[in-house]
């Protein structure tokens, strides 16, 4: 269950997009770096076609169908395989009150591979994720920033029961005046170790970020982890 997710790279605050090119460089403690590139071409506000590159090599073609809230309702991908050839996969999504409640994976012949269903509590925290007949559950302890994570197989037998640490308190996250995340608490089992992801932005004249730097901050010491640039082409 994922509790930390940045915005979609194609999302903007203002304007109508023709194309966005995103380049990213990730930095690792080993000294190595990793480069990625996404190209988003908007045929209309609800249809986007693009490409993803890994260290300069084309890896994926993708098509997004978006709803009025800019959420993906359909995804079609053509992904390069390690040993040659391409694999086509399709996904469909359903939402309720802005939250994803269903996800279906299809093959290239539109045959259902698997289906996931999401259930949330009254505070919009995910408490159950079902995949076909198997499922996962989460029970939250907000005061200790933990949750009990359980996994059950398709015969309803429990196969995992553990306590995880997570940033489940919205008070730990900070946003700037544009509504972009600037600080995110990162879960850790050590109560004396304060770990944050902090983000710095540069914006264009339309109030959309064009540079984003992400740092990991441990007990006040910051180390850069990634730098992203967006070249945004607006429709006339």
Instruction: Give the model confidence (pLDDT) of 50-88 as tens digits.
Output: 999 999 999 999 999 999 999 999 999 999 999 989 999
Residue-level pLDDT at 171: 60
Q: Where are the beta strands (DSSP E) in 5-56?
A: 17-27, 33-44, 47-54
Residue 4 domain-assigned?
Answer: no
Residue that the structure tokens 């994720």 belong to: 129
In a domain, 100, yes or no: yes
pTM of the model: 0.86
Q: Tally the domains of the chain.
A: 1
What contacts 137, CB < 8 A, 6 or more positions away?
127, 128, 129, 149, 150, 152
Distance of CA 88 to the CA centre of its chain: 21
Domain that holds residue 120: 17-234
* 1, part of any domain: no
Q: What is the pLDDT of residue 1?
A: 44
In a domain, 7, yes or no: no
So what's the pLDDT on residue 192? Answer: 67
Domain assignment present for 9: no
Instruction: Examine residue 6 and state whether it is found in any structural domain, yes or no.
Output: no
Cα dihedral 117, 123, 127, 129 in deg (nearest 10): 20
Q: For residues 171 and 203, what is the distance between their CA atoms, to the nearest angstrom?
A: 25
Q: Is residue 11 part of a domain?
A: no
The rounded distance, in Å, linking the Cα atoms of 215 and 4 is: 15
Instruction: Give a yes or no: residue 2 inside a domain.
Output: no
Q: Which tens digit of pLDDT belongs to each residue from 91-118?
A: 999 999 999 999 999 998 999 999 999 9
| CA-only gyration radius of the chain, Å | 20
Is residue 144 within 8 Å of 137, Cβ to Cβ?
no
Q: Over the chain, what is the mean pLDDT?
A: 91
């Amino acid at each position: 269950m994922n509790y930390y997710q940045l915005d979609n790279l194609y999302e903007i605050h203002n304007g109508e997009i023709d194309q966005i090119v995103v380049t990213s460089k990730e930095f690792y403690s080993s000294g190595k770096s990793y480069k990625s590139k996404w190209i988003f071409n908007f045929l209309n506000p609800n249809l986007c076609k693009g490409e993803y590159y890994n260290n300069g090599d084309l890896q994926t073609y993708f098509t997004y169908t978006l709803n009025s809230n800019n959420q993906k309702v359909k995804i079609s991908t053509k992904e390069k395989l390690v040993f040659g050839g391409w694999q086509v996969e399709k996904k469909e999504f359903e939402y309720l009150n802005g939250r994803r409640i269903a996800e279906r994976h299809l093959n290239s012949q539109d045959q259902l591979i698997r289906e996931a269903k999401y259930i949330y509590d009254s505070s919009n925290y995910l408490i159950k994720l079902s995949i076909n007949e198997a499922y996962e559950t989460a029970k939250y302890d907000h005061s200790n920033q933990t949750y009990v994570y359980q996994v059950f197989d398709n015969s309803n037998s429990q196969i995992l029961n553990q306590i995880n640490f997570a940033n489940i308190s919205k008070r730990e996250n900070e946003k700037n005046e544009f509504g972009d995340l600037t600080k995110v608490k990162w879960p850790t089992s050590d109560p004396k170790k304060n770990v944050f992801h902090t983000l710095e932005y540069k914006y264009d004249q339309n109030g959309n970020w064009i540079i984003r730097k992400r740092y990991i901050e441990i007990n006040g010491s910051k180390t850069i982890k990634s730098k992203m640039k967006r070249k945004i082409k607006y429709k006339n």
